[in-house]
Chains A and B, each alone.
Chain A
Amino acid sequence: MALEIMEGSIAIAQAVRRCRPQVVAAYPITPQTHIVEALAEIVANGELSADYITVESEFSALSACEGAVAAGSRAYSATTSQGLALMFEVCFNMAGMRLPLVMTIANRAMGAPLSIWNDQQDSIALRDAGWLQLYAEDNQEAVDLHYIGYRVAEDHRVLLPVMVCFDGFVLSHTYEPVDMLTQEEVDAYLPPFVPKFMLDAKNPVSMGMYATPDYYPEFRYETDLAQKRALEVIREAGREFGEQFGRDYSALVESYRMDDAETAIIAMGSICGTTKEAVDEMRDAGKRVGLVRLRTFRPFPTEDLREALSGVSRVAVLDRNVSLGAGGTVHRGAVVLEVKDALYGEPIPVLDYVIGLGGRDVRIEDIKRVVELCEAGDGDRFYGLRTEVL
């Protein structure tokens, strides 16, 4: 294993190169730009034999990927925020047509107001589109999830597109030590794409036909079944990755210092790094606190989460998004709704903290404060508001 200090975006681009996509289609948007610039350079230098389509919009980026995959090629795209929103219609379509892809999301807030900074509102908004959503805590994980992502997406038990989500700027523009697998290692892990159906004059098929009420619900059911099957396929792919390269990703939720924990914090993405530091400090001070990190949001690991939370007295969810209008008179993000669903019937209080929106920094002190608030039963609120500007 050779660690290299690399910017997150560059590491992603290098990982994508090793996945050998034949078609790359992307449109520049901050903070995704370094990925697609690096890939353009890789293609220009002949280090990846791919067609790099410089599309005129994100809408076309994903549409072109859809066409490429339908024609039997592995494809790649990356975007964030407004770009992902512009892809909205294609996202649903690709999942419905069961066309596998890996797309990197450099998570960023949604306008208005315009913000280029990090939260997870963008991918969360695509929650119901049929894509698998994997969230990385650091750049090593972000890189590895691309290999795993293609494995899972293209698995015939799944055949769904995957968003690999990593926090914009916080990870995308940060230098961290990363172990980049060699091409041979990636080739040994990730086989070439074998489509189940494709556009081919030798065997003509019609793809993307319309369905009357006599057929439509069954299509949706089968797509949801594929999400269910993905739970195990992700575990499998993550386990094999661990066996080959020593980093095990078989767990859909990661439990950090959860033994005997009374308070569990639930979070996704880079905020978990800060949270782990906070947990260590609180543990040192004698507090029984742990972190349960969600690696997948779709499919949602309901059973895994229940198991991880068994025995806790209270749960604090850090939501880097807000589900506007949810929760009646209290404030809630999207993650807590899923957590409450997973814990339905359990007498465990679950409190939500809408935190770190639009790039607002979340420090160790903030996590500690959240735990104090949770212990006091004060939650389902925005955390860290500047009341002086309201």
Chain B
Amino acid sequence: MAIDKTCELFDCGHRACGGCGASMAARLLLKASGPETIVVSSTGCMEVFSTPYPETAWKVPWIHSLFENASAVASGIESALKQQGRSEKVVVVAGDGATFDIGVLCISGAFERGHDITYICYDNEAYMNTGIQRSGATPFDASTTTSPAGRVSFGNKHPKKDMPRILAAHGSPYVATASVAYPADFMQKVERAISTEGPTYVQVHAPCCTGWGFDGAKTVAIGKLAIETGLWVNYELVDGEVAKVKKVVKKPVEEYLKEQKRFRHLFKPKLQEEEIAKIQAIADRNFERYGHEIRLPPKKAPEGA
């Protein structure tokens, strides 16, 4: 199945912020999935900005029930379609709060039972709809409204939960991470996830200009920096094994952090070298784990020097 990039099933006129990564994810994933898709949405930013009654941005069948039950609703839809002999694909679209935290029970059940569903988590690394509170996907030291940096705190105390591995451990045949900064890669992964039988998972990094504090024109640039610094890794797990990792020339984490207000406390009023070193260590571990650093040959010293 070739992806029809001209296909537009996520309509314009929705109410997302300018530069919203999640809205990019919605548009791209429907290009990849095509019209024979039933979307199950969790409560969250995407649900709210795309479906204020009586308007909707979704040109495919779409349902929202609750915050935490999208994968259970999807289970029921998939069962019903099977019983009726129908061929639509069932795709869950949910934010990181719905996925990493409140929806884990339902997701675990749906994946363990092996429903033929594709779960797309748009990961903007906090509860954005309710006002930027931390979730299990919030990175270490990010300042949010419930993990604020303060006189005795550098922000979120915990590293990001490794949700892709948790779902791979459920026996998912295909788990991938992607970024809206790399649309072609994301769409290919969605297509592969949908065409793989069984419960599959794609976690797409969706920078949030409002929640992270950057200029909405820089969403793609920020997404790329996350990957280039090693704080986000684009990879695939096929039957639980790492199959493909996007290789990058490593940049120091400061280049990513300093662009965002959520990490501003690491630079002002004074540089927090120790904290930045801890974040660098997270990136270093990622590079070690996935081995995706491109090591360029050392530059020759200019002649005569």
Minimum C-beta distance from A205 to chain B (A) = 6
| B62 touches which of A55, A57, A73, A204 (Cβ 8 Å) | A204
**C-beta contact mask, A40-73 vs B, less than 8 Å → 1, else 0?**
0000000001110111110110011111111111
Chain B nearest Cβ from A47, distance in angstroms: 15
B35 touches A22 (CB 8 A): no
Q: Is the CB of A204 within 8 A of B59?
A: yes
Contacts of B72 in A (CB 8 A): 55, 59-60, 63-64, 67
CA distance A7 to B112 in the complex (A): 33
Chain B residues bordering chain A, tally (CB within 8 A): 44
Shortest CB–CB separation between residue B75 and chain A, in angstroms? Answer: 5
Contact, CB under 8 Å: B47 / A210 = yes
In angstroms, Cα B54 to Cα A148, docked, is 34
Residues of A within 8 A of B80 (CB): 22-23, 51, 67-69, 71-73, 75
A312 touches B (CB below 8 Å): no
Interface string of A198-229 (1 = CB under 8 A from B): 01110011111111100100000000000000
* B110 CB contacts on chain A under 8 angstroms: 60
Verify A70–B63 contact, CB threshold 8 A.
yes
The one of A60, A66, A69, A71 that contacts B109, using a Cβ cutoff of 8 Å: A60
Cβ-based interface call for A29 (8 A): no
| Structural contact, B56 and A206, CB atoms closer than 8 A | yes
Bound CA span A59–B70, Å: 11
Q: Is the CB of B77 within 8 A of A199?
A: yes
Is A89 an interface residue, CB under 8 A from the partner? yes
Chain B: CB-nearest residue to A208: B64
Q: With an 8 A cutoff between CB atoms, is B51 at the interface?
A: yes
Contacts of A67 in B (CB 8 A): 40, 63, 65, 72-80
Q: Which listed residue (B38, B69, B113) contacts A63, Cβ 8 A?
A: B69
Residue of B nearest to A215 (CB): B53
How far, in whole Å, are A66 and B37 apart by their CA atoms in the complex? 18
Check if A68 sits within 8 Å of B58, measured CB to CB: no
Q: Which chain B residues border A55 with CB–CB below 8 Å?
A: 72, 75, 109, 113
Of A22, A73, A206, most buried by chain B (CB within 10 Å of CB) is A206
A73 adjacent to B65 (CB under 8 Å): no
Q: Is A25 an interface residue (CB 8 A)?
A: yes
Q: Which residues of A contact B51 (CB under 8 A)?
A: 206, 209-210
Q: Confirm or deny: A90 has a beta carbon within 8 angstroms of a beta carbon on chain B.
A: yes
- Nearest residue, chain A, Cβ from B110: A60
Binds A, one of B82-90, B139-147, B241-249: B82-90
Nearest CB in chain B: distance from A216 CB, A: 9
Q: Given contacts A93-B65, A204-B60, A207-B63, are A71 and B53 in contact (CB under 8 A)?
A: no
Q: Which residue of B lies closest to A59 (CB)?
A: B69
**Is the CB–CB distance between B62 and A71 below 8 Å?**
no
**Contacts A55-B109, A206-B56, A208-B65 hold; do A65 and B76 have CB atoms under 8 A apart?**
yes
CA–CA, A136 to B297, complex, Å?
81
Tell me the complex Cα distance, A66–B60, Å.
19
Is B18 part of the binding interface, using a Cβ–Cβ cutoff of 8 Å? Answer: no
The listed residue (A63, A69, A201) touching B61 by CB distance below 8 A is A201
Write out the residue numbers on chain A whose beta carbons fall within 8 Å of the beta carbon of B74: 67
Q: Which residues of chain A have C-beta atoms less than 8 A from B68's C-beta?
A: 59
Would you call B291 an interface residue if the criterion is a C-beta within 8 Å of the partner chain's C-beta atoms?
Answer: no
Q: B108 at interface (Cβ–Cβ under 8 A)?
A: yes
Residues of A within 8 A of B78 (CB): 67
CA distance A27 to B81 in the complex (A): 22
When A205-B61, A210-B51 are in contact, do A64 and B75 touch as well, CB less than 8 Å?
yes
A53 touches B79 (CB 8 A): yes
Provide the residues of chain A in CB contact with B61, threshold 8 Å. 199-201, 204-207
Find chain B residues with CB under 8 A from A53 CB: 75-76, 79, 113
CA A22 – CA B76 in complex, angstroms?
10
Q: Is the CB of B54 within 8 A of A71?
A: no
B52 touches A (CB below 8 Å): yes
Q: Does B106 contact A (CB under 8 A)?
A: yes
Whether a CB of chain A sits under 8 angstroms from the CB of B12 is: no
Task: Write 29 A-B pairs (CB below 8 A) sorted by A numbering.
Answer: A22-B79, A25-B76, A51-B83, A53-B76, A53-B79, A55-B72, A55-B75, A60-B75, A66-B73, A66-B76, A67-B63, A67-B72, A68-B77, A68-B79, A71-B38, A73-B84, A90-B69, A97-B65, A199-B88, A201-B35, A201-B61, A204-B59, A205-B62, A206-B58, A206-B63, A208-B64, A209-B52, A210-B51, A215-B54
11 additional A-B pairs beyond A199-B77, A206-B63, A208-B65, beta carbons within 8 Å, are A25-B76, A54-B113, A59-B68, A67-B73, A67-B76, A67-B79, A89-B66, A90-B66, A205-B62, A206-B61, A207-B63
- Which positions in B face A, CB cutoff 8 Å? 35-38, 40, 47-48, 51-54, 56, 58-66, 68-69, 72-84, 88, 105-106, 108-110, 112-113
